[in-house]
Amino acid sequence: MPAVPQATNRTLGLGQVSLLLVGIPGLESFQAWIGIPFFFMYVTALVGNTTILCVVKMEPALHKPMYLFLCMLAANDLIVSTSVVPKMLQVLWLGSREIGFDACLVQMYFIHTFSIVESAILLAMSFDRYVAICHPLHYATILSGPVVVKMGLAAAARGVLLVIPCPVLIKRLPYCFRRVVPHAYCEHMAVVKLACADTTLNRTYGICVALSVVLLDLGLIAASYSMILQAVFRLTSQEARAKALGTCAAHACTLLVTYVPALFSFLTHRIGRHVPPYIHILMACLYLLLAPAVNPLVYGVKTQQIRQRVLRLFGQGEKVLVEH
């Protein structure tokens, strides 16, 4: 009796294949509870970043490079968190683990593209602080409106172009009915590991992109801050020194909450073989959720102009409610 040929992802078409997201391996019984802080971080990100966008838009006095870069960061954080949290909460709370292969690739593309864009925006913000502190007289000339727009477009273009090969390379691989993704969302390496073929090209390209982006951006950010600190400590006025350091404090906090979880997740995925999978997945989730939730709070507290406008906005809202 002739053997019945088995269907593969080549004959079915990857568009007809569904994958299953596990959530957080090893913590399945706690996933509903874990989803609660993730939900509140997402709500905080939505409210905080939307508030920053609205405040900057309504206040002409805030239409300056520093706040325009902050708006880019807020919009980017909204896109990143919205790309991952709704489906993640479906997995953690409702047990709705299935996701189409193409939908998985779209989620993966958005997550990694806008993570790279975020890194470029943070680099642009460090350059903004460098120019403001080291070359204050030329600030308006160097960071004019068209230059800020071009920097934003360059950041977006870099992310879009660098990540395009990832889904293209993934779609060329056979998967041999491997459908279970041991992750809470469609992360690049988690999907690549499902393939039943040589994935050297995928792994090499992924690590080259990650290393080039992180090393280039962090290197330039470190160079900017070394020059900023040299300029600050040359100031004779204690008040001017404190003010200059204060303007950098919010950006420094943003760098920490963005890059520390990112580097931990990146390193454990490749060399942390003894790190429990649930630790890696939790850090990967925090990498995408912590910065969008914390950034608006940090800038709202540390940036006086933002804080004053927000308080004024809510004060006017309360006055309207009292009058009615």
Per-residue pLDDT at 17: 75
Cα–Cα dist 310/317, whole Å: 11
pLDDT surpassing 80 at residue 180:
yes
* Pairing between β-strand 180-181 and β-strand 18-21 as defined by DSSP bridges: parallel
Handedness of CA 238, 241, 247, 250 (dihedral sign): negative
| Mean pLDDT, the chain, integer | 84
Mean pLDDT of 273-281: 80
**pLDDT band, very low/low/confident/very high, at 8 (cuts 50, 70, 90):** very low
**Of 62 and 122, more confident:** 122
C-alpha distances out from residue 126 to 44, 48, 147, 228, 252, Å: 25, 22, 15, 9, 9
Mean pLDDT of 158-173: 93
Amino acid in position 126: S
Question: Tell me, what DSSP letter sits at residue 90?
Answer: I
Cα–Cα dist 69/12, whole Å: 45
Per-residue pLDDT at 16: 59
Beta carbons within 10 angstroms of residue 9's beta carbon = 22
Per-residue pLDDT at 156: 96
H/E segment holding residue 180 = strand 180-181
Per-residue pLDDT at 164: 95
Residue 223, phi-psi category: left (phi > 0), alpha (psi -120 to 50), beta (remainder): alpha
Cα–Cα dist 174/194, whole Å: 9
Alpha helices in 143-274 (DSSP H): 145-163, 165-171, 188-192, 200-233, 238-270
**Of 197 and 13, more confident:** 197
**Of 178 and 1, more confident:** 178
Per-residue pLDDT at 118: 93
Of the candidate ranges 99-108, 183-192, 220-229, 268-277, the one whose mean pLDDT is the lowest = 268-277
pLDDT surpassing 50 at residue 159:
yes
pLDDT surpassing 80 at residue 305:
no
Tell me the pLDDT tens digit for each residue of 25-37.
888 888 899 999 9
Tell me the pLDDT tens digit for each residue of 211-269.
899 899 989 998 988 888 888 877 777 777 777 677 677 777 778 888 887 777 777 66
Amino acid in position 102: D
**Of 291 and 312, more confident:** 291
Cβ contacts of residue 2 below 8 Å, gap of 6+? none
Q: State the maximum Cα–Cα separation within the chain, in Å, rounded to a whole number.
A: 92
Cα–Cα dist 19/7, whole Å: 16
CB 262 within 8 A of CB 112: no
Question: Tell me, what DSSP letter sits at residue 245?
Answer: H
**Orientation angle between helical segments 101-134 and 238-270, nearest 10 degrees:** 150
pLDDT surpassing 70 at residue 138:
yes
Per-residue pLDDT at 316: 58
pLDDT surpassing 90 at residue 112:
yes
Render 35-84 in DSSP notation, one character per residue: HHHHHHHHHHHHHHHHHHHHHHHH-GGG-SHHHHHHHHHHHHHHHHHHHH
pLDDT surpassing 80 at residue 200:
yes
Of the candidate ranges 47-61, 167-181, 242-256, the one whose mean pLDDT is the lowest = 242-256
CB 188 within 8 A of CB 166: yes
